[in-house]
Each structure stands twice: as C-alpha cells, then as structure tokens.
Amino acid sequence: MAERVAIILAAGISSRMNTNLPKVLHEVCGRPMLAYVLDACRQVGTSKIYVVVGYGAEQVEERFAGSKDIIWVKQDQQQGTAHAVLCCKEHLKDFDGQTLILCGDGPLIRAEMFRTVIECYEAGQSAAALATTILDDPTGYGRIVRDAYGNIKGIVEHNDCTKDQLSIKEVNPSYYLFNNKILFEALEKVKPDNVRHEYYLTDALSIIIATGHKVVAVTAVRPEEAVGVNSRAELTQAGKIMQRRIQQKLMDNGVTIVDPVNTWVDARADIGQDTVIEPFTYIHGQVKIGQNCRVGPFAYLRSGTLLGDDVVLGVFTEIKNSTLADGVRARHLSYLGDASVGRNVNIGAGTITANFDGQKICRTDIGNDCYIGSGAMLIAPLSLRDGSHIKPGIVVSQDEVDKTENGN
C-alpha cells in the first residue's frame, strides 16, 4: 500500500476574521480548528503531517507542541495555496506516495469523507481525487467546472468566474488527494494569472488534467461539512454544526439532553450513560461526568470538573477544577472551585468555596458523608473530615474547625 502524508494549509492571515489570533487557533466547541483537521488526517492513516504556517507561526506551534507527528513548514509570504504547498518541496520532492491536502480552516471535515475520496482515487488509478459538494449558496467558493460527460475540467475561484460559472452550485471544499510526484510537477507550472494575483492550488488540478492524467471529483461532502471558516459568522456557524455532532454522539452513547438547542457541551467533555443534562447547561473544557447524574438546569461546569456517578447538580451551580465523588448533591446556587468532595455529601443551597485569597488559589477538601448546611462560606484552604456537619449560614475556616475538633 502506498505511503500517505498530509499537508495542512494554515499560513493565511485571515483579514476577513479581523483578528490578531492565527485563524486556525480560533476555537470551535472548545478546541482550535486545526485540532479537528489533524484528527481527520490521523484517522485515515498518515505517516507525517506537514502543517504550513506563516502568520502567528510560533503561537500555532506552541499550541500543538506535544504532537510529534507534525512537521512545521514556514511560508514567509502568503502568495496563495499553491505556493503554500510548494513550501513543502524540500521535504516531499522525492516522496513517491499519496499526499492529502486540506485547509486548516475547515474544522467540519470528517474522516469518512476522506475514506471515500481515497477509495475513488485508488479504484480509478487517478493522479488526483477531490471531494465536492453542492451548495444552495456557493458564494465565495471555487466552482467545479465539468465537461459534457461530467468529467472535471477544473476549478474556477469565485472572483474569477464568468457570469455562467457563478451559477454553478458544485463547489470545492478543499479536500484533495494527489499523487505526490505529479502534484509537485504541476505546482511548478502554476501562474498567478487571476484577480488576486495568487498562486492557486486549484490551478494545479487543471494543469494535471491538461497533461492527460485522470482526476476524479466525487460529491462526497454534505453541504454542512463544507463550511470553511473565513469570517466570525462562519466560525459561529461551524460551532453550531459541531455542537450538534457532539450532542448527537453523546445521545447515541446514552446521555439524555433535554433541550439540545439550549445546551452547550465542549468537544472534550466525557459524559456517562443515563446522565440527564437539563436545559441551559454550559459544559466548558476538560470535564468528566459519570453515570446516572442529573446536571442543570442552568449549571456551569468548567475545566477540571470530575463528577462520579449519581451526582445531582441543580440550578445555578458552578463547578471548577473540582472532583465530586459518587452521590454528591448540590441542588441550588453553589460555587465549588478547587475542591474535592467525598461520597454522598450534601451541599446546601448557596454554599461557596472561597478559593482565592487575593494572591493564591487554595483547595477545599470535604470528606465522605458530610452535611454542609445552606449558605455556608467555606474559606480555603480547608479540610473537613468524614461525617462533618456544618450548620447553615456560617463562615467556616480551618482555625474554627481545628478549635471545635479539639474541643475548645
């Protein structure tokens, strides 16, 4: 089987986003866009992933510092997508295999779609294969131009389209697979003869076709997966589609989401079977929820929240960087931050962990089977032993606890 590598284009400055942050670091459901594109490459089996970076390169590299399969390639001047791919020439000029090319601003890509493209490429002994989709509103996308037999002739960018071509609804989401050698030969021939005076990767396809090689364009992408993020509005649109996918997967795994539209769950969250998520719940960051829990309505779970099984979190509870063991109940209006709460603890309404003393964050440890009365103010650092009974409405500091426990 031919070896396969991937090139991800992520050097663009993104003027349309009006941002200082590199575009591919903008988050969709809690993860940078680029993370999803990397996932898709890995899922179809790529030995190496070349990521072309330019604007904000250091920031992007730093964010993905742990990924050993990435080779960072610098594109100093953004002269177009073909130029970006050519920046990988030193690494790939002698590579005799398949090269996937994707854009870092297409987080909705799915590995299954790429599997279809790979199958078509291999079955047809093609020099290149690409996925296409049909959009009701194709504005901004490169149009797929086909001949009378339905074979692809080339791709014309929106700004370069004739009036007739503008009405073509089949577009290029920028998911390609190339024979590497043929690709690099064609790239040398691309000229910046277009409205933006850029070197277009899409022109490499027409060049490959003109040299007599076979290129297949397969309609393998659902319209919603084609969304390339070029503006804030598209970022939001991509986020909504991704949110639906995240929730669908959770529901398939046995989680009840009472009101999906009014619930937001981070892509990194892990939720156990038979847990019910009530409306207006916001789960952000690395969060793990066990089985048979009930969360919300109006709960806010932040990064580092770890819930055991049978936990109940009710209205207006905020949890951050805290572990709540099996059977904990915090039904109303509580903040638990940097806390560890033992089994079957009852947290009364309005209980707060005061975890920040103005300089540092301190921890609160609550043992098993404790009762914390309503309105308790727990001043961290604090440690409450198993079975502690805290009366409602009091301020609890470690000094007070020590005094009481020593019988003073």
Give the catalytic positions in this structure: 332
The DSSP symbol for 375 reads T
Containing 305, the helix (H) or strand (E) segment is strand 305-307
CB of 52 vs ligand UD1, minimal distance in Å: 5
How many other CB atoms sit within 10 Å of the CB of residue 348? 21
Residue 60 tokens read as 């992007």
Q: Look at residues 132, 111, 115 and name the one whose alpha carbon lies nearest to residue 123.
A: 115
User: What does the H/E/C string look like for 384-396?
Assistant: ECCCCEECCCCEE
- From 3-11, 14-22, 97-105, 321-329, give the range in contact with Mg ion by CB under 5 A: 97-105
Query: Binding residue for ligand UD1 (CB under 6 A) from 59, 230, 286, 346?
Result: 230
Does 231 participate in binding Mg ion (rule CB under 5 A)?
Answer: no
Element (H, E) at 124: none
Residue 238: C-alpha distances to residues 6, 36, 129, 133 (Å): 23, 12, 25, 16
Q: Shortest distance, CB of residue 193 to ligand UD1, whole angstroms?
A: 12
Cα end-to-end distance, the chain, whole Å? 77
Binding residues for ligand UD1, total number by CB under 6 A:
28
* 300 belongs to the binding site for ligand UD1 (CB under 6 A): no
Q: In the structure encoding, which two tokens stand for residue 182, read together?
A: 């043929």
> Which of Mg ion, ligand UD1, none binds 116 (CB below 5-8 Å, type-dependent)?
none
Residues in Cβ contact with 139 at an 8 Å cutoff, skipping those fewer than 6 apart: 158
Exactly one of 35, 108, 171, 324 binds ligand UD1 (CB under 6 A); which one?
171
SS3 for 166-225 is: HCCCEEECCEEEEEHHHHHHHHCCCCCCCCCCCCCHHHHHHHHHHCCCCEEEECCCCHHH
Pattern 84-103, ligand UD1, x by CB under 6 A: x------------------x
Contacting ligand UD1 within 27-56 (CB under 6 A):
52
- What is the nearest approach in angstroms of ligand UD1 to the Cβ of residue 83? 5
Q: Give the integer Cα–Cα distance in Å for 339 and 383.
A: 10
Query: Smallest distance, Å, CB 241 to Mg ion?
Result: 16
Instruction: Note whether 104 binds ligand UD1 by CB under 6 A.
Output: yes
Residue with nearest beta carbon to Mg ion: 228
Q: Candidates 67, 78, 116, 230: give the one binding Mg ion (CB under 5 A).
A: 230
Are 297 and 59 within 8 A, CB to CB?
Answer: no
Q: Compute the least distance from the CB of residue 102 to ligand UD1, in Å.
A: 9
Name residues contacting ligand UD1, limited to 301-340 (CB under 6 A): none
Closest-CB residue for ligand UD1? 142
According to the binding rule CB under 6 A, does residue 157 interact with ligand UD1? yes
75's contact among Mg ion, ligand UD1, none, with CB below 5 to 8 A by partner kind, is ligand UD1
**Does 105 interact with ligand UD1 (rule: CB under 6 A)?**
yes
Name the site residues for ligand UD1 (rule: CB under 6 A): 9-12, 52, 75, 78-81, 83-84, 103-105, 141-142, 155, 157, 171-174, 200-202, 228, 230
